[in-house]
Structure 1
């Protein structure tokens, strides 16, 4: 999909290290005779609710790119970009996405095979806690292909068929996550879409929301911010108001992150508040799907801190992250490295380069070569620290 004008403006702005307010100021300086744009104007351009038509020449000037580049991106903007809360079905491919999964005559599949498959699904999910991206993508894809084959080639009752589809949906969520962690974003999107289709065919809105929310999270982190907001909200809608508390909290977290990456502070903070409220309704007697075993108050705290870091509010982010990291399971090295990366950036934003360098050093020492997600965060942290290259601790880290 071609980059829209909003996505292009956001990418170019971030490449210069500018906030939305700073871009608005630069445009005001470049066009002194015009009513100056505001930070909110820039935000609306980036998420696609408004077009910067009359500002294109000035955007080209301050962002130092050819005007033709912006005009081509503007041509890719949908004619009707009015945001709405859509259904996950809007994000599925045309036609029958489950056509390859239609059952045909073969060996009889019963509850025993479904139970065995469910155990393998959970085993793969636990493996993702300690084996990452490029090291796990092969086994993940093999399990997904085996589940699809079981559904396609076996005969089964309607109820067993639904359970097989749920297994395909869960495996697709895990395999998509692993592929994304390996940096294979196009492959991850194809896998996620298969999982969304399978979950919806099984009539499981909560699972559909989990798979769709995972794709929305990938889009948030790869520049498709307007699409991410729409899909994250569609995932929440698909799960429904009676979804388990942990599910609603997680899906609201993804809504908050999508809005954060789109530069929408207020809806991001609103979604975070709603996520905390949802999780507070959870109790020991509330049954949640097994794939939400990891979702708890600590994870919610991490997301809140990440939002604050992205919004350049380090005084709020640092205490939250230090609290979580003080009790985090060190065996989950990838997540530990990722959380340390956010803390390092927050320290840098707070003008504490020595603490930032020390935190970044811990992150780098954890390694995680199989995770492209971690590698990308490492590049971001080191780029952020270059502004403090004259500080001895930072210089030593950058030279290592």
Structure 2
């Protein structure tokens, strides 16, 4: 198997796991349960294999291919065959989202009693949208994500259900609102995003779901820090930390502290920002592989490292920012083009601040190439910031060529 084959397969394995809402630890346990024979590696060893397979670093034996296929309940050829291995993540996700029309299904159950089955269907759809957001930009997802949100609201309002199912429906509406707000923000529709986040916060509160409320409040704080009043963002982010509370899952607490750190950065409170980042790292260190809400699947040490690097860049400490960014970018999933472009933009700024204009121009060039392929206002705005920052180095040939090409 070539390196390209391994990368394509790793993306598929990760996608299949994440769309089921499984952690890497759960994946490892399911694989281990399906291994034949007596000599079964311990759970930690299988977990290390899963991490390497999803990173595309090593190949896989027939024994583990069979266990993977059994865990996913698919044929081995379907999972590992070359015609499936080379399907893009975007194509796989688009196919999943096109399976069935939620609006049509809701029309068929309006006025009827619904149970936990419909909640499970909604949870699968909202997670599919989250995974789609990993590889598609806001402009691509805006219409389908709001269509799904509206349909979920109708389902909650126009059907009969038990109190327990009603709370679950409110929580899933909150989850739809979070991804819809995120997509709207990425598309530059900031007022719509803010309104959607607030709708989700209300749904989460009514569902008595403080962890989800924390996630939504933190998302609103993050947008406010970037395109609104950063001081208000601090207040919101503090509310997200409080909503999560000490008993929330470690990754939920880590994310809340991470949002607060960024809000502090945006008001140039460096000491408070570093303290919040430290709290985020401490919270994440408590994560032991147990199942968390599916919307926390992306919160890991790399994401905290990126935020730390962004904080150092914004606070003009490039010598600390650059090594962190290079480390993460060296192992970042290339299918996540928008995030890769955004992180390259921070690297370009940090390199410019470190008086390395040629390297800054190289990073900016890669960033601009990637951002041209995605319909994201986030990347467009960052591109403007990077080009403005490089203007002072126009007399450097590499920078001048880059700027002239963009004029």
Q: Cα deviation per residue 1:81-102 (whole Å; 9 max; x = unaligned)?
A: xxxxxxxxxxxxxxxxxxxxxx
The residue number in structure 1 matching 2:344 is: 340
Deviation at residue 287 of structure 1 after TM alignment: 2.4
The residue number in structure 2 matching 1:358 is: 362
1:266 maps to 2:271: yes
* CA distance in 2 between partners of 1:368 and 1:383 (Å): 21
Is the contact between residue 165 and residue 202 of structure 1 (CA under 8 Å) also seen in structure 2?
yes
Deviation at residue 111 of structure 1 after TM alignment: 1.1
* CA distance in 2 between partners of 1:172 and 1:323 (Å): 33
What root-mean-square deviation, in Å, do the aligned CA atoms of Structure 1 and Structure 2 show?
Answer: 1.1
Is the contact between residue 338 and residue 374 of structure 2 (CA under 8 Å) also seen in structure 1?
no
What pairs with 1:52-71 in structure 2 (closer than 5 Å)? Answer: none
TM-score, normalised via structure 1 length:
0.73
Deviation at residue 159 of structure 1 after TM alignment: 0.5
Is the contact between residue 369 and residue 375 of structure 1 (CA under 8 Å) also seen in structure 2?
no
Is the contact between residue 249 and residue 274 of structure 1 (CA under 8 Å) also seen in structure 2?
yes
* CA distance in 2 between partners of 1:395 and 1:209 (Å): 45
Is the contact between residue 250 and residue 283 of structure 2 (CA under 8 Å) also seen in structure 1?
yes
Deviation at residue 323 of structure 1 after TM alignment: 0.1
Is the contact between residue 249 and residue 292 of structure 2 (CA under 8 Å) also seen in structure 1?
yes
Q: Unaligned regions of 5+ residues in structure 2, if any?
A: 1-109
1:287 maps to 2:295: no
Q: Cα deviation per residue 1:248-286 (whole Å; 9 max; x = unaligned)?
A: 1111000000000011111001000111111111112x2
1:221 maps to 2:226: yes
TM-score, normalised via structure 2 length:
0.72
The residue number in structure 2 matching 1:320 is: 324
Q: 2:188 aligns with which of 177, 183, 190?
A: 183
4+ long deviations beyond 3 Å: none
Is the contact between residue 260 and residue 276 of structure 2 (CA under 8 Å) also seen in structure 1?
yes
* CA distance in 2 between partners of 1:214 and 1:253 (Å): 11
The residue number in structure 2 matching 1:55 is: none
| SS class of match (1:256) | helix
Is the contact between residue 132 and residue 368 of structure 1 (CA under 8 Å) also seen in structure 2?
no
Q: 1:118 aligns with which of 123, 126, 131?
A: 123
Q: Unaligned regions of 5+ residues in structure 1, if any?
A: 1-104
Deviation at residue 154 of structure 1 after TM alignment: 0.6
Deviation at residue 369 of structure 1 after TM alignment: 3.7
Question: Relative to structure 1, is the Cα distance of residues 272 and 332 closer, same or farther in structure 2, using a 3 angstrom cutoff?
Answer: same
The residue number in structure 1 matching 2:32 is: none
| SS class of match (1:128) | helix
1:373 maps to 2:378: yes
Considering fraction of residues, name the structure with more helix.
2
Number of matched pairs:
296
The residue number in structure 2 matching 1:168 is: 173
The residue number in structure 2 matching 1:230 is: 235
